[in-house]
A and B are shown apart, each in its own frame.
Chain A
Amino acid sequence: MAQQAGAGRRYVRAFVSGFFVAVPVTVTVLDRFAYVARVEGASMQPSLNPEGNVTGSDVVLLNRWSVRNYQVRRGDIVSVLSPKNPQQKIIKRVIALEGDFIKTLGYKNRYLKVPDGHFWIEGDHHGHSLDSNSFGPALRTPWRARCSVKCCVWCSHGVSCQVFGVQTTQMNVVWHIRGFFFFQVSLGLVHGRASHIIWPPNRWQRIEPSIPPERMPLLNWHADATEDEEKD
């Protein structure tokens, strides 16, 4: 009996000491070095989630060590804490850094300068097709309009969508909606840089920084003469 009690106490002590090693180390690694996250949604197609959630979402590895000094580069895919919901993280591509002049598509100001301490992120996906089953009969009438923030499921991210085309089939109306996801966020909200896609195995790859050529910033206010790019 005494031997069993002794062995039990030893196991408890081993468990407790193991717990106090494993939990802080795991939490520190997830907070400071690397983080793994599943990508949901279609806003980054075709780079991430090219088939949508049908065949399984992509899982990406987020490098938190490389953004510890808030250093991001244009073209990186980063995850940021959402300014609309502090418990949600959004994953988008960095298009412009502080001081850049950019041409926006659909935002209220046509050209804008990214303020200090902020950067401009956009999703890669530039178009959606949508079934009226998602919206219900109220939207069956074709109209060309700018939808308000609340009515569109993608507009919950707070950007404008333009309804620009309609196809009627026998059963339902298919809306072609050009939804564009863009944000100007503070650098303090950056969470991690997506460096690799690690699942599914046929999509193992390193994510390279790249900007679509039509979205390059026009010029940089802070750049020195050797780095200035001026585009018409």
Chain B
Amino acid sequence: MAGGDMFRRVLGKTLGFLGYTVQYGCIAHCAFEYIGEFVACSGPSMEPTITSHDVVFSERLSRHLCRIEKGDIVIAKSPFDPHMNICKRVIGLEGDKICTSGPSDVFKTHQYVPKGHVWLEGDNLRNSTDSRSYGPVPYALIRGRVCLKLWPPHNFGALNQSPTGRIVKRSD
């Protein structure tokens, strides 16, 4: 029967198409989840390293293998709104002693980063809400490490070191 044949062919093609969609969708998920993703940044808190509307590539392998280090720029979920992401630099890892008082304060206060947490600060210290206001951030909220700037093209390439000098020296 001609009608039945055509129906079976259309069904076969549709199922094949769906199968390919599922397969490539899963491969895309694995790539974005375990290799890296593209992120468009907005906000002034990481100037001059990253300005608003820059596009960067953040790789996920360091986070899954727990190889995030001091001085890395990371993308993390905001502790107060899980739908928002924040882009900051890692200043201290667990166990480090962070100086939380301002440069003009007479009495210096310190805080230790608890186990399993990191201390994040933006490069633009005057215009950044970061761990100085909301405290250390759990490591598990980190999504990835920013390794390459992709846009604008004249700034393409690796990112600069921290301009603030706030990274905690190795503590013995």
Contact = CB atoms under 8 A, between A and B. Distances in A.
Contacts of B83: 69-70
A44 to B, nearest CB: 20
B117 to A, nearest CB: 7
Given A83-B138, A186-B141, A188-B77, A24 B82 contact: no
Interface string A67-98: 00110000000000111111100000000000
A117 interface: yes
Contact of A188 (B27, B29, B79): B79
Contacts, number: 73
A87 B117 CA distance: 12
Interface in B1-27: 22-23, 25-27
A116 interface: yes
Given A70-B82, A188-B141, A84 B27 contact: no
B80 interface: yes
Nearest to A149: B115
Interface residues of A, number: 28
Contacts of A190: 82
A115 interface: yes
A28 B116 contact: no
B30 A82 contact: no
A116 B82 CA distance: 10
Given A27-B34, A82-B140, A84-B114, 12 more contacts: A20-B27, A24-B30, A25-B23, A25-B26, A27-B29, A31-B29, A31-B33, A81-B138, A81-B140, A118-B80, A186-B82, A186-B138
20 contacts: A20-B27, A23-B30, A27-B26, A27-B29, A27-B33, A28-B25, A28-B30, A32-B29, A70-B82, A70-B83, A81-B140, A82-B116, A85-B116, A86-B139, A117-B81, A186-B77, A186-B79, A186-B82, A187-B82, A188-B78
Interface of A: 20-21, 23-25, 27-28, 31-32, 69-70, 81-87, 115-118, 185-190
